[in-house]
Amino acid sequence: RQVTVGRPDVRGREEILRVHARGKTLGDDVDLSKIAHTTIGFTGADLENLLNEAAIACAKDGRSFISQEDVDKSFIKLGIGKEKKSRIVSEHDRKITAYHEAGHAILFHVLPDVGPVHIVSIIPTGSGAGGYTMPISEKDDMYLTKGKMLQD
């Protein structure tokens, strides 16, 4: 017998985050609701891993509380690939990446059903990306719209 457990919706993700945040000291800037909105497609295990990675980052920095920056860095590490700040990028390539990511940010702002921009970076990642632009989805959609497809 198989039991299928679907991925949680935004309310479910927020509840799961609250469970995994117990015993962790969160900074005033950490908004679990906002995190729930940025983690569409995450499973409960993914959300647990996200907060655990954020706690590790905070401990490495010698702080006693998790900041939103810790969560954002963990999200990038898990979802996009760890940032490779040591990678040497020419000024020309950095400029091209900046224009490219700015284009994504503008499209995310203009296209319907995409959501506001959360993070834009031109730091290369371990997955091979030269940079990334991450919107915050305002709702969980069952179906992809043209705007969502163009986002990818």
- Active-site residue set: 101
Are 125 and 83 contacting, i.e. CB atoms less than 8 angstroms apart? yes
| Backbone phi, psi, residue 105, to 5° | -60, -40
Structure tokens at 2: 């198989």
d(CA 17, CA 50) in angstroms, rounded, equals 9
Are 149 and 107 contacting, i.e. CB atoms less than 8 angstroms apart? no
